């Protein structure tokens, strides 16, 4: 079946540092890939998505590129802010699986001033 593996946290950074969160997946066919963010006490927000190989999703300074050859979708941000402190979830969706989302375990990021 489909699965998503992302690096465990917590990840602690200083403000303006570079952030990378690794995400790899296993899926049959050609899934769509997503990053969601959950701020403290809130629900999930869609951060970015990519639907085919070599697509780059971007939003709020975050980027991730759909790499089919390495089955990866790593999240990056060049200069984090305290307000980026949250839990980040990598996920995939496949039509063959009824458009259900398969989530990674989540990575908690803490940015210190």
Partner 1 sequence: SAVISQKPSRDICQRGTSLTIQCQVDSQVTMMFWYRQQPGQSLTLIATANQGSEATYESGFVIDKFPISRPNLTFSTLTVSNMSPEDSSIYLCSVLKGTDTQYFGPGTRLTVL
Applying CB under 8 A, which residues contact partner 1?
32, 34, 36, 42-46, 49, 51, 89, 93, 95, 98-101, 103-106
Tell me how far, at minimum, the Cβ of 37 lies from partner 1, in Å: 11
Closest CA to 36 of 75, 80, 65: 75
Distance of alpha carbon 80 from alpha carbon 67, whole angstroms: 23
Nearer to partner 1, 34 or 111 (CB): 34
19 near 1, Cβ under 8 Å?
no
Tell me how far, at minimum, the Cβ of 41 lies from partner 1, in Å: 8
Distance of alpha carbon 88 from alpha carbon 84, whole angstroms: 10
Tell me how far, at minimum, the Cβ of 54 lies from partner 1, in Å: 17
């Amino acid at each position: 079946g489909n699965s998503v593996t992302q690096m465990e946290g917590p990840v602690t950074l200083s403000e303006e540092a570079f952030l990378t969160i690794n995400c790899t997946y296993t899926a049959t066919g050609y899934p769509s890939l997503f990053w969601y963010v959950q701020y403290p006490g809130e629900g999930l927000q869609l951060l970015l998505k990519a639907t085919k190989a070599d697509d780059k999703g971007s939003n709020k300074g975050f980027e991730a590129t759909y790499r089919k050859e390495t089955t990866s979708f790593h999240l990056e941000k060049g200069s984090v802010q305290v307000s980026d402190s949250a839990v980040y979830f990598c996920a995939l969706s496949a039509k063959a699986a009824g458009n259900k989302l398969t989530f990674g375990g989540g990575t908690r990021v803490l940015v210190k001033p």
